[in-house]
Amino acid sequence: MPDHVHLLIEGTNDDSDCKQFIKRAKQFSGFYFAKQFSGTLWQRYGYERVLRDDESTFVVANYILSNPVRAGLVQDIRDYAFVGSSAYSLDELLQSVCRSG
């Protein structure tokens, strides 16, 4: 999205800290952005939401994957350059969302 980012992250350890992850990710990317473009990348605060056991990860993934289409940026999510996962291919994500949704 041109003005915001959606991340679906999973803490894999008991001591995983979403707020610390976001803080460090914003610090790291903001530093390199400012170095290259001489500007600010992030607003001071963000929004985070922890999924509970009874909430479907696939519903959230579907929302994230559908966002650029809803916004009119692309007609098919496969055409959006800024979607992806370090764990799954886009086809795997789409298959999982479609199977579960």
The pLDDT of residue 99 is 64
Q: Do residues 36 and 65 share a domain?
A: no
Show the low-confidence residues of the chain (pLDDT under 50). Answer: none
- Report the alpha-carbon distance of residue 10 to residue 19 in Å, rounded: 12
The pLDDT of residue 100 is 57
Q: Do residues 59 and 90 share a domain?
A: yes
**Residue 60, H or E segment:** helix 57-70
- Residues sharing a CB contact under 8 Å with residue 60, sequence separation 6 or more, in sequence order: 8, 51
The pLDDT of residue 55 is 78
If one counts the domains in the chain, the total is: 2
In a domain, 4, yes or no: no
Q: Do residues 45 and 57 share a domain?
A: no
Q: Do residues 76 and 94 share a domain?
A: yes
E strand intervals along the chain: none
Domain range for 78 is 52-101
Q: Do residues 25 and 68 share a domain?
A: no
The pLDDT of residue 50 is 80
- Report the alpha-carbon distance of residue 33 to residue 39 in Å, rounded: 7
In a domain, 9, yes or no: no
- Report the alpha-carbon distance of residue 69 to residue 84 in Å, rounded: 15
Angle between helices 90-100 and 57-70 (to 10 degrees): 110
Q: Do residues 81 and 61 share a domain?
A: yes
What is the pTM assigned to this prediction?
0.76
